[in-house]
Every structure is written in C-alpha cells, then in structure tokens.
C-alpha cells in the first residue's frame, strides 16, 4: 500500500493521535480534553492528506471550497429575495387606482414607516377562552387618560363572558405617554384586569395607524384562534347579544368587513384629517368602515397582517384599513345597525336592535346596560 494513501482508508492502519477522542471533541495524544502540544491542528490536517499533495494544490482546494460557499450563499440570498413579495406600489378597486410613492411617505411620515412594534405591556396568553366557543375579540382603542371610560366599559359590554355561543374577550389598545403618573396608573390597572395591550409609541392622531398595524402583528403572533374581531373605540355602546346574533344569522358573514361603511369618502386637505397632496393626489379614498366600530372576520387576519408588511402606513387609520382590505380583496358590507354620527331618539328599543351606538354618555351607557340586562334574554350577568 502506497505511503500516499491517507491513514483513514488504509487497511490495518491505526488512526493518528489527532483523531483520538477527548472531552472537547477530537483531541491530542491520549489526553482527556487537552490537545497534545506535539500535534498542532495544521499537522493533523496534513497527515490526513496524500503526502504528494503540494502546498499549491492545497491552496487550490481551499480556494475552490471558498468559491463554492460564496456561490451557494449568493444563490440562497437570490431565492430568498425572489420569495419575498415586493412592496405594494399601487392598488385598484375598479374605480380608482391608488399609487404609493414610498419615498414621499418616508419623507413626510418617517416614524409611521420605520417604527417597529415594541410592547410595553404585553398580552401573550390572552386568547385562552373555552375552546368549545368561537372567540370574538373586542379590540378597543383607548387612551391612557381614559381610565374612567375603560372602567365603565368593563362594568357594561367589555366583559369576558360567553354570549350567544361566542366567547367574548375584551382587549384595550394603548400607546405610551411621557406622563409618569398616568403610566403608573395604567400599569396598576393592567395588573388588576389583565386586558391592556400597550406599545411604546406616543399617543397621537396619526399614530392610531400604528396601533392598527401593531394590533395585526399581535393577533398574528398571539391570537390566531379569533373567529371575529370587533374593532372599536372606548366611547361607543355595544350590544353583545345583538352582535353575536348578527354573526350567527348573517349569510357569508366571514366574507366581509361589516360596519357603517363610507364609500369612496372625500379626502380632506384642511383640519385634523388633512392629507398632503404630494402624499395622496387623488380626491377619494377606497371604501372603509367607520372606526367607531366594525367587524373583521378572523379568517382574513393572516392576509391583512401580511399586507401590513408591504403597504406604507397611511396617517389616517380608517383609510389605512381601507387600503389593507383592498390589498387582500376583502369587501365591505354596510349595516345600519352600526349607528354613529346620527341624531337618534334615545329609546331602549334602539339599543335592543343596534349592534353599536356612538354618542352615548358613560352615565347613560350604564343605565341602558342595567335596563337591557333585566329585559333581554341571554344578556351577560
């Protein structure tokens, strides 16, 4: 047998000391974890090579392996990039085509585009209700200073309960504040009730869109079992018996966003909801539901979350939901039982048949709740 054949493949050849096991892997001569000073790693490697292999040939092998690794890495990156969708630059609903100039969004509203959702108060195990009942998540936008409103809602419709065959789970969505006293009160409130989810962006009108984007991320990561989500605000009255009845009896209820729908609402150029012309040159938005309260099917949440990754964050949260729904081709369906921004006669029958009513004082809300609880079957106690 020629001397140029490596010891590993020569019959009857004993493995060199550099291949004997030690506590740290393949170590030195007879040591338990201490490589022999007589056997450097380079010498071990050489003893496994044919003796006639020159230093030039060895370097060729090393360079060849390096080239293969570089090519493999480049191909892997190429296929990963090909698998990732491109940021959305345009959407159409058949009437209007909406273009998104990402550089303008980043210039005018950089924080909305660059912000990465960071929770201050987390709720990772909230969606753990009875598995026998489909989950209706009540996701309520609130403000740190609105502790009184949250208290009223907890005494009325924002309760953990089983109603109409659904398990209702309230969740209040908050941003941060620089007011340390308010922050401490909210942390204490969260410890007591366990129904607050809070991020570290500061509350503001434009940051409501961040609240929507971060909510979709949270749902995707922690609440995929939600059958439906009621997206609302903390100044509305919700009838949980009528709401769950609506979900049970409406045909194809999971195929739409349900609410008080604005069809191609006009863009405002002045006031709190003003949108700069360079950001959005068109005069109309896509359809979207009034933010005071609307229903989103749980089956659409994964696609809505993915769309939030590739759409710019629009500075108005209602229109932002409209773009998200358009991106995943989720249509809207109007229902007059989502009552908002209208003058109504304040009779108990109105609250009995309505899904949601906006413009109710906190005192009136509690009185209506007590009256309905005493007169309506299936009302949560």
Q: Which of the four CATH numbers 1.10.530, 3.90.550, 1.10.3470, 2.60.40 does domain 109-375 have?
A: 3.90.550
* Mean per-residue pLDDT, 205-228: 96
The predicted-structure confidence for 266-304, as pLDDT tens digits, reads as follows 999 999 999 999 999 999 999 999 999 999 999 999 999
Please report the pLDDT score of residue 4 as a whole number.
41
pLDDT at 197 over 60: yes
Lowest mean pLDDT among 29-33, 256-260, 351-355, 360-364: 29-33
pLDDT at 7 over 60: no
Q: Predicted confidence band at 349 (pLDDT cuts at 50, 70, 90)? A: confident
Number of Cβ atoms within 10 Å of the Cβ of 61: 11
Please report the pLDDT score of residue 71 as a whole number.
53
Q: Predicted confidence band at 57 (pLDDT cuts at 50, 70, 90)? A: low
Lowest mean pLDDT among 117-121, 177-181, 290-294: 177-181
In the predicted model, what is the mean pLDDT of the chain? 82
* Mean per-residue pLDDT, 311-326: 98
Give the span between the Cα atoms of 365 and 155, in whole angstroms. Answer: 10
Please report the pLDDT score of residue 76 as a whole number.
41
Q: Predicted confidence band at 381 (pLDDT cuts at 50, 70, 90)? A: low
Number of Cβ atoms within 10 Å of the Cβ of 26: 13
Q: What is 325-371 written as a DSSP string?
A: HHHTT--EEE-TTEE-SS-----HHHHHH-SEEES--HHHHHHHHHH
Lowest mean pLDDT among 13-22, 39-48, 52-61, 63-72: 13-22
Q: Are 261 and 333 in contact (CB under 8 A)?
A: yes
For the whole prediction, is pTM greater than 0.85? no
* Mean per-residue pLDDT, 36-53: 43
Nearest C-alpha neighbor of 346 from the set 336, 334, 361: 361
Lowest mean pLDDT among 91-105, 161-175, 214-228, 350-364: 350-364
Measured CA distances, 24 to 21, 33, 44, 230 (Å): 8, 5, 16, 57
Q: Output 352 or 71, whichever has higher pLDDT.
A: 352
* Mean per-residue pLDDT, 187-210: 96
pLDDT at 209 over 90: yes
In what helix (H) or strand (E) does residue 218 lie, and over which residues does it extend? helix 208-222
State how beta strands 356-358 and 338-339 pair.
parallel
Number of Cβ atoms within 10 Å of the Cβ of 366: 16
pLDDT at 360 over 50: yes
Q: Predicted confidence band at 85 (pLDDT cuts at 50, 70, 90)? A: low
pLDDT at 8 over 50: no
pLDDT at 174 over 50: yes
Please report the pLDDT score of residue 281 as a whole number.
96
Measured CA distances, 378 to 160, 241, 245, 341, 357 (Å): 14, 7, 11, 28, 20
Q: Are 293 and 359 in contact (CB under 8 A)?
A: no
* Mean per-residue pLDDT, 112-127: 94
* Mean per-residue pLDDT, 100-126: 95
Please report the pLDDT score of residue 45 as a whole number.
38
pLDDT at 9 over 60: no
Please report the pLDDT score of residue 340 as a whole number.
74
Please report the pLDDT score of residue 64 as a whole number.
59
Task: Please give the structure tokens belonging to residue 231.
Answer: 């997206």
Number of Cβ atoms within 10 Å of the Cβ of 181: 9
Task: Please give the structure tokens belonging to residue 112.
Answer: 């909305």
Q: What angle do CA 168, 243, 295 make, to 5 degrees?
A: 85
Measured CA distances, 226 to 170, 249, 355 (Å): 12, 18, 19
Please report the pLDDT score of residue 132 as a whole number.
82
* Mean per-residue pLDDT, 145-170: 96
Q: Where are the chain's structural domains?
A: 7-49, 109-375
Q: What is 37-87 written as a DSSP string?
A: TTS-HHHHHHHTS-TT--HHHHHHHHHHHHHHHHHHHHHHHHHHHHHSPPP
Would you give the DSSP letter of residue 139? Answer: E
pLDDT at 189 over 80: yes
């Amino acid at each position: 047998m020629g001397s140029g054949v490596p010891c590993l493949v020569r019959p009857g050849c004993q493995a060199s000391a550099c291949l004997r096991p030690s506590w740290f892997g393949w170590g030195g001569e007879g040591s338990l974890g201490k490589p022999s000073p007589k056997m450097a790693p380079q010498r071990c490697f050489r003893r496994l090579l044919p003796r006639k292999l020159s230093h030039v040939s060895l370097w060729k092998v090393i360079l060849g392996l390096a080239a293969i690794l570089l090519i493999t890495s480049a191909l892997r990156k190429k296929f990963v990039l090909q698998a990732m969708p491109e940021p959305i630059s345009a959407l159409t609903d058949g009437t209007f085509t909406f273009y998104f100039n990402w550089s303008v969004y980043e210039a005018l509203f950089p924080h909305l585009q660059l912000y990465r959702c960071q929770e201050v108060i987390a709720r990772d195990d909230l969606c753990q209700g009875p598995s026998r009942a489909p989950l209706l998540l009540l996701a309520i936008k609130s403000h740190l200073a609105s502790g009184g409103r949250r208290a009223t809602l907890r005494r009325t419709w924002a309760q953990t309960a089983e109603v109409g065959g659904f398990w209702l789970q309230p969740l209040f969505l908050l941003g941060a504040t620089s007011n340390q006293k308010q922050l401490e009160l909210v942390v204490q409130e969260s410890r007591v009730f366990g129904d607050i989810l809070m991020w570290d962006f500061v509350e503001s009108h434009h940051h409501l869109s961040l609240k929507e984007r971060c909510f979709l991320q949270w749902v995707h990561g922690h609440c995929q079992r939600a059958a439906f989500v009621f997206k609302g605000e903390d100044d509305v009255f919700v009838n949980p018996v009528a709401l769950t009845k609506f979900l049970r009896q409406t045909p194809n209820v999971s195929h739409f966003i349900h609410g008080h729908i604005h069809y191609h609402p006009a863009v405002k150029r002045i006031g709190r909801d003003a949108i700069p012309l360079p950001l959005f040159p068109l005069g109309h938005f896509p359809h979207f539901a009034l933010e005071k309260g609307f229903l989103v099917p749980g089956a659409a949440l994964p696609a809505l979350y993915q769309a939030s990754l590739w759409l710019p964050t629009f500075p108005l949260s209602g229109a932002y939901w409209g773009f998200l729904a358009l991106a995943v081709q989720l249509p809207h369906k109007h229902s007059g039982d989502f009552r908002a921004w209208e003058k109504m006669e304040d009779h108990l029958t109105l609250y009995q048949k309505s899904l949601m009513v906006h413009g109710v004082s906190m005192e009136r809300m509690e009185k209506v709740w007590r009256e309905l609880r005493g007169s309506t079957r299936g009302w949560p106690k």
